[in-house]
Amino acid sequence: MKNRQANWYVVFLATVVLLLVQLPSPAFASNQKTLKRPVEITYPSASQTTIAPGRDFYVIGTIDKSLVLPDNAHMEVTLTEKESGKIVRTVYTDIKNNKKGMNVDYPRLTLENCTKEEFRDACMPDLIYDPQNPESFRDTWIKAYYNDNIFTCLIYGGDTASKDVNVYDQNGDLLKSLLGDYKIDVSFSKDKVVLAQATTEITIADYPDKVLARFSPNEHMSRVTYDATMHDWMLLLDPFPGYWNMPMFFPEWKLPYQGSIGWKWRNNDALEYAGGLIHMYLYGTSSSSTSYSVELAKLQLLTDLENPARFVPRYYNIGEPLLPNTGERGYFVNMEDDEYLAFTRVDLVKDAEENNFLDMSTLATVESETDLEKRIRANANETIAICGVCRPIQTGTIVYDLQTGAYSWDSELNMIEYRISIDGDNPVYWTSPVSLTRQYDDGSSTTSEFEFRSNLRLKENYAGSILDIDARLINENGVPITDYIKCCSVYVEESYT
Mean pLDDT of 331-339: 95
> Per residue in 198-255, pLDDT tens?
999 999 999 999 999 999 999 999 999 999 999 999 999 999 999 999 999 999 999 9
Residue range 340-493, CATH number: 2.70.50
pLDDT band at 20 (very low <50, low <70, confident <90, very high): very low
d(CA 279, CA 227): 11
Q: Is 60 exceeded by the pLDDT of residue 6? A: no
Residue 466 forms beta bridges with which residues? 491
What percentage of the chain has pLDDT greater than the value 90? 83
Q: Specify the DSSP class assigned to residue 492.
A: E
Direct distance between the N- and C-terminal alpha carbons of the chain, in angstroms, rounded to an integer? 95
d(CA 386, CA 454): 5
> Per residue in 459-475, pLDDT tens?
999 999 999 999 999 98
pLDDT band at 3 (very low <50, low <70, confident <90, very high): very low
pLDDT band at 496 (very low <50, low <70, confident <90, very high): low
Residue 174 forms beta bridges with which residues? 168
Query: 3-state DSSP: the chain helix, strand, coil percent, rounded to 5?
Result: 20, 35, 45
- Amino acid at site 435: S
Q: What is the pLDDT of residue 37?
A: 83
Q: How many helices (H) does the chain have, and how many strands (E)?
A: 8, 32
d(CA 203, CA 206): 9
Q: What is the pLDDT of residue 399?
A: 86
Task: Between 8 and 296, name the one with better pLDDT.
Answer: 296
Q: What are phi and psi of 270, to 5 degrees?
A: -60, -35
Burial (0-12, 13-18, 19+ Cβ within 10 Å), 37: middle
Please answer whether residues 325 and 350 qualify as being in contact, where contact means their C-beta atoms are separated by less than 8 angstroms: no
Please answer whether residues 43 and 155 qualify as being in contact, where contact means their C-beta atoms are separated by less than 8 angstroms: no
Nearest to 457 by CA among 373, 380, 404: 380
Q: What is the pLDDT of residue 17?
A: 33
For 113, left (φ over 0), alpha (ψ -120 to 50), or beta? left
pLDDT band at 411 (very low <50, low <70, confident <90, very high): confident
Residue 201 forms beta bridges with which residues? 183
d(CA 351, CA 479): 33
Nearest to 364 by CA among 320, 416, 404, 394: 320
pLDDT band at 352 (very low <50, low <70, confident <90, very high): low
Q: What is the pLDDT of residue 36?
A: 63
Q: Is 80 exceeded by the pLDDT of residue 353? A: no
> Per residue in 62-117, pLDDT tens?
999 999 999 999 999 999 999 999 999 999 999 999 999 999 999 999 999 999 99
Nearest to 355 by CA among 443, 465, 430: 430
Q: What rounded mean pLDDT belongs to the chain?
A: 90
What are the structural domain ranges in the chain? 2-34, 39-207, 340-493
Mean pLDDT of 369-385: 95
- 41-50, 347-356, 399-408, range with greatest mean pLDDT: 41-50
Say how far residue 494 (Cα) sits from the centre of its chain.
48
> Per residue in 177-197, pLDDT tens?
999 999 999 999 999 999 999
Mean pLDDT of 364-371: 95
d(CA 108, CA 129): 15
pLDDT band at 497 (very low <50, low <70, confident <90, very high): low
pLDDT band at 492 (very low <50, low <70, confident <90, very high): very high
What percentage of the chain has pLDDT greater than the value 70? 92
d(CA 311, CA 334): 11
Q: What is the pLDDT of residue 406?
A: 82
Q: What is the pLDDT of residue 409?
A: 83
CATH 2.40.30.10 for the 39-207 domain, yes or no? no
Q: What is the pLDDT of residue 295?
A: 95
Task: Between 284 and 350, name the one with better pLDDT.
Answer: 284
Q: What is the pLDDT of residue 273?
A: 97
Nearest to 423 by CA among 458, 461, 468, 470: 468
Q: What is the pLDDT of residue 364?
A: 94
Say how far residue 98 (Cα) sits from the centre of its chain.
32
pLDDT band at 398 (very low <50, low <70, confident <90, very high): confident
